[in-house]
A and B are shown apart, each in its own frame.
Chain A
């Protein structure tokens, strides 16, 4: 099978610092332009165009602009950022440094989840190596551009992956998402203009600079740009991280990883979508099946109600509790899942109020957690659960 070109984790890597030096030969505006033309969209899940974000932060008024790397990777089933840091930490740091040059920032922070303490020495070593090679720190390569990176740890909260919650946490507060606007590009960490990007997004930047926007763009399928890392686990022979063209069909990934007897696939983590074997030809793209970083496979021996209950327990635990639809809604959904398990629900029609609740949560929650947590309820109940009172063929 033609899996396409592997960039992020391929064997053929550029030499360290090459992309940064190329960037510094360009004007900051040209660097932003190149990233924008590449059409890369954020790899952390939401898929906001990175070049537009950098452009906004670059143009924002305010001193001490910030570049923040979101290494909070908490979406169930996601581990691509861990592997990227284990194998290519330097590339993430170089991508952040290029972002700093592009938006006019001299200060970066990596927010690393508390569950990855063993990555701290790896990041620290990469940082020291770059400093000793004059590729990070003061007056990089004698060009008058300085950039420093701090490594900070979270303390175990999934919601801190949400960028404004992450910023609150860095400011020493509870990780409760902020109202937007203002957006971080205008007022982020300590009210400074701030770019927040995912680990994988930053790691792609050196490749974009070296290969050019058009080349990078062409690596994706259809209207998608670049390559993408997928973490796959569950009922597959070879769980791990795979790099495929953005927009590749789900089926390709399943074949590569040796998935068999597929009954259901969770794409995009607990907050993503649950698909049936009829949907495997869909492309993993922002418009069809937004992939985030996570794909979990379930074979026919799995009870999807168990899966749903596990996801909903996760959301009940991880909701920050700030807004009612999410705090109360996830609990109500968990309660009803347990009633279904106890055989207390005769037919799908009895669940109408809960589908309405799901709509309210999607529309009325403040951040992506509460807006997406009902997805698994709707998908799994609609597609996978049979009720005693269901009509034949319904």
Chain B
């Protein structure tokens, strides 16, 4: 059984305290476990820290790694900044889009994968690069990217 949003927030509060400065840690814990930050988690965080729901919502919406919308079990983030573009990230993106039948910002209908493009991820010396969840993958070609993605459960 997976934990509910409220349970994750509660466990996170125990680790990080209920000060305002714990908010990023709590949201990160929720986002990591559920792939997104559902309304229940926003409400639980707001009441624990003592600020309005809107205030927490505005924090969530600020950061590109946080999502209100549910996402897939795996998040693929392909770099779209200059050094990766110059090394062929557009072709990699096209290949992945074709394979998955989705565009960036979308999730496959089976809930397996969310595809995103991202600003520079600091792997420009091994471009083109992407992050799959926490793992970096570098020197991609359309073929290697397809294979990596096919291997995700």
Interface residue ranges, A against B (CB under 8 Å)? 73-79, 81-82, 113-118, 152-158, 169-175, 190, 231-235, 239-241, 266, 270, 296, 298, 302, 306-307, 310-311, 313-314, 317-318, 320
B 114-152 binary contact with A (CB < 8 Å = 1; else 0):
000011111111110001001110000000000000000
A-B contact count (CB 8 A): 127
Closest to A315 in B: B119
Identify B119's interface contact among A116, A169, A170, A318, CB under 8 A.
A318
Which 10 residue pairs of A and B lie closest in terms of their CB atoms, listed nearest first? A172-B23, A155-B63, A233-B124, A156-B65, A156-B64, A239-B125, A117-B134, A174-B62, A233-B83, A79-B122
Question: For the complex, is B82 an interface residue (Cβ under 8 Å from A)?
Answer: yes
Pick from B80, B119, B126: contact of A158, CB below 8 A: B119
- For the complex, what is the distance from the CA of A81 to the CA of B120, rounded to whole Å? 14
User: Of the candidates A172, A190, A235, A318, which one forms a contact with B86 in the assembled complex, judged by CB atoms under 8 Å apart?
Assistant: A235
Knowing A172-B59, A174-B58, A233-B83, say if A73 contacts B122 (CB, 8 Å).
yes
Closest partner residue, chain A, to B123 (CB atom) = A79
* Chain A residues near B106 (CB-CB < 8 A): none
**Contact residues on B (Cβ < 8 Å of other chain), bracket:** 35 or more
B81's contact among A81, A118, A310, by CB below 8 Å, is which?
A310
Complex interface: chain B residues within 8 A of A169 (CB): 24
Show 14 A/B contacts (Cβ-Cβ < 8 Å), sorted by A: A76-B81, A76-B83, A154-B63, A169-B24, A173-B59, A175-B62, A233-B83, A233-B124, A234-B82, A239-B127, A296-B124, A306-B85, A310-B85, A314-B120
State in angstroms the CA–CA spacing of A81 and B119 once bound together.
17
A235 cross-chain contacts in B, Cβ below 8 A: 86
Once the chains bind, are B21 and A171 in contact (CB under 8 Å)? yes
Knowing A76-B81, A314-B81, the reply to whether A234 touches B86 (Cβ < 8 A) is yes
Assess the B124–A231 pair: CB atoms within 8 A.
Answer: yes
Smallest Cβ distance from A94 to chain B, in angstroms?
A: 23
- Which residues does chain A contribute within 8 Å of B135, judged by CB atoms? 118
Contact present for B125 and A241 (CB under 8 Å): yes
Give 5 new A-B contacts, CB below 8 A, not counting A79-B122, A172-B19.
A114-B63, A156-B65, A231-B124, A307-B82, A310-B82
From B20, B64, B118, B124, A239 is in contact (CB under 8 Å) with B124
CA distance A157 to B120 in the complex (A): 11
A172 to B50, CA, bound (A): 12
Known contacts A171-B21, A172-B23, A174-B58; decide if A157 and B122 are in contact (CB<8 Å): no
Chain B residues closer than 8 Å to A116, beta-carbon distance: 122
B22 interfacial by beta-carbon distance below 8 Å: yes
